[in-house]
Amino acid sequence: MKRLLITGAAGGLGRLMRTRLAHMADTIRLTDLTEMEPEGDGEEVVQANLADEAAVHDLVQGCDGIVHFGGVSVERSFDLISDANLRGVYNLYEAARANGHPRIVFATSNHVVGFHTQDRRLSAHDPMKPDGLYGVSKCFGEAMASMYHSKFGQETALVRIGSCFPEPINHRMLATWFSPDDFVSLIECCFRAPRLGCPIIWGVSDNDEQWWDNSAARYLGWRPKDSSARFRDKVEAANERPSADAPDSVYQGGAFTADPIHRD
Ligand code: 15L
C-alpha cells in the first residue's frame, strides 16, 4: 500500500503500534490531537482534531488504508467522548466516502459487551451490553461502520480489543490480553484479505481462558499466536486475586462497569 493513515498515534495503542506497522505502507501518515514523536523516515506527522471535518478530509485524502485508534479510550464525560468518538467517527466515514473508501481497521472495544458476565462465551452475534459512555460510543462506531458498509460497500474490520498492552498486568487481563504482535498480524490479514466486509473480530490472544468466539472471522485466516499463560505467575505474584463479587471477577468489562457517569 502507498499510504496508511494511523489515527490516535500519540495514544497508548498508537505508540505501541507505530513502529510495528511501519512495514505496512511506503508512507505512514500519523495523526493525533496532541503532539507526537517527530517524523521519522517514511512518516508524515499531522496534528489534527477528529472533530474538525475539513481536517479529517485532508487527513484521509491520498490514503489507501486507515487504522483508527483515535478518540477517547476510557470512561470520560459525554462532551469529550462525543467530540472524538461520535463526531470524529462520522467525519472519518464521510472522509472515507469522499476518498474512494479506503479499508478501515477500527479499534472498537470489549467495553461494548462489558456488562456480560465472565461465565459467558460470546460470539459476534450476541447483543451489546456496553458498560459506560465510552462503551456506548464504540457501539455507535460499530453501527456507523455497518451502515456505511450496507449503503456504500465501505469495508471495516471492527476489532473489539480486549487489553492490548505489552503484557497483562492483572488477573482479568489473563483472559483479555491481546499481544501487540497478534494485533499486527490481524491488521496485516485485514488489509491482505481479498474480501473483508465488515466483520466483528475479537481482539484477543490465544489465552487459556477465552470469553470470545472468533469463528465468524475465520475466513480471514488469522490465528493469534501469543498467550498470556507465560505471564500468569508474574501477574499472580504482583496482584491479589480480586474477590469473587468484585467487578473485575464478575463482568467482562471489569472495573469499567463500576465507573460513574462523568459530568465534567
Ligand atoms: C479499553 O477499551 C481501553 O481503551 C484500555 O485502556 C483497557 O482498559 C481495555 O479496554 C481493557 O478492558 O482492559
Cell matching residue 17? 503500534
Inside any domain, residue 111: yes
The helix or strand, by DSSP H or E, that contains position 203, with its residue range, turns out to be strand 200-203
Number of domains within the chain: 1
Ligand 1 atom with the shortest distance to the CA of 254: 12
Percent pLDDT > 70 in the chain is: 100
Inside any domain, residue 188: yes
Q: What is the pTM of this model?
A: 0.98
pLDDT digits (tens, 9 = 90+) for 30-40: 999 999 999 99
Side-by-side strand order, sheet with 156-161? 43-47, 27-32, 3-7, 65-68, 103-109, 156-161, 200-203
Inside any domain, residue 253: yes
Pairing of strands 27-32, 3-7: parallel
Cell matching residue 262? 462523568
Inside any domain, residue 263: no
Inside any domain, residue 178: yes
Establish whether 134 is a catalytic residue: yes
Ligand 1 atom with the shortest distance to the CA of 111: 2
Inside any domain, residue 33: yes
- Select from 17, 69, 72, 73 the residue to mutate for testing ligand 1; criterion: most ligand atoms less than 8 Å from CB: 73
Phi, psi of 240 (to 5 degrees): -75, 140
pLDDT for res 237? 98
Does the Cβ of 214 fall within 6 Å of ligand 1? no
Catalytic residue among 90, 134, 148, 251: 134
Inside any domain, residue 264: no
Q: What CATH number is given to the structural domain containing 93?
A: 3.40.50.720
Inside any domain, residue 193: yes
Does the Cβ of 111 fall within 6 Å of ligand 1? yes
Does the Cβ of 73 fall within 6 Å of ligand 1? yes
Cell matching residue 169? 498486568
Question: What ipTM, to 2 d.p.?
Answer: 0.99
Cell matching residue 116? 456480560
Phi, psi of 46 (to 5 degrees): -130, 110
Confidence of residue 264 (pLDDT cuts 50, 70, 90): confident
Amino acid at 22: A
pLDDT digits (tens, 9 = 90+) for 105-152: 999 999 999 999 999 999 999 999 999 999 999 999 999 999 999 999
Supply the range of the domain harboring residue 143: 3-258
The helix/strand/coil state of 206 is coil
Positive/negative CA dihedral, 161, 163, 167, 171: negative
pLDDT digits (tens, 9 = 90+) for 60-104: 999 999 999 999 999 999 999 999 999 999 999 999 999 999 999
Does the Cβ of 110 fall within 6 Å of ligand 1? yes
